[in-house]
Amino acid sequence: EWVFNITGLTRVSYSQIGPNEIRTFSYIATAISKGSYQLHSARVYYYTSEVQPSEFLSISNAIDMTVVDPLEDFSLANYNVSITFLLILLVLNLLLILRLITPKFTRRVDNQLN
């Protein structure tokens, strides 16, 4: 069983998607299963056409890391895997936040200059 924790979802209004228009959003999800972690980042494309109501296309990248149950082994190697996993997650979250905030900030600055 997978447990998904989705963070940093860019919200779009699907009701405003017209014919032959494309809307995108990106998300970063951590998926936890028994004995392993999966760091998953994906960009999902929603496309509507006049022929079909909607089409769905997902392009994703995944990093799989096997993690030993800490109850079985408290070695430094397991801590290194956990720390590496958290660092990669932090970097991806920072990139997503910068990608979402920077355009809004520059737009606000441009409006103030005008």
Return per-residue pLDDT of the chain as tens, 114 residues.
344 444 443 333 334 445 555 554 444 444 444 445 554 444 444 444 555 544 444 444 444 444 444 444 444 455 566 667 777 777 777 777 777 766 665 555 555 665
- Structural domains of the chain, count: 1
Q: 46 with 24: CB under 8 angstroms?
A: yes
pLDDT of residue 10: 37
Under 8 Å CB-to-CB from 14, ≥6 apart: which residues? 23, 46
Does 44 fall in a domain? yes
Does 77 fall in a domain? yes
Does 114 fall in a domain? no
Does 31 fall in a domain? yes
Does 113 fall in a domain? no
Instruction: Please give the residue range of the domain that contains residue 22.
Output: 3-108
